[in-house]
Amino acid sequence: MVVDFGNGFDKVIREASSVLGKPIDKGKYEIIDRGMSHQPKNLPPRMVGIYTFYHEGKFMKMGKAGPNSNSRFLSQHYSPKSAQSTLAASILLDNRMQGKGY
């Protein structure tokens, strides 16, 4: 199932940034849906990335990676041994996720 979050994320960004008194112009960010089974890519220099992992109607992980934490954006959540606690390791240990084989 492919879900288009672009419009939803745009709305959340506009509303949240406005409520905080620091509206973010649409031209200042880009929403990229890499889909399931993808190769992560580096953040552009001086950029911040918001990443989400979504499965069967639920967000499994949401986070932020900035210029000093590109490894989190690029690899940490994809490799079960890259850090003490990763999404990949949690998935491998979760019996409900066994046999999904993505």
pLDDT tens by residue, 34-67: 777 777 788 777 777 777 777 777 777 777 777 7
- pTM tops 0.75: no
**How far is it, in rounded angstroms, from Cα 84 to Cα 42?**
22
Residue carrying the six token digits 């399931």: 36
- In the chain, domain spans: 1-33, 34-102
CB 48 within 8 A of CB 67: yes
Confidence band, pLDDT 50/70/90 cuts, at residue 19: very high
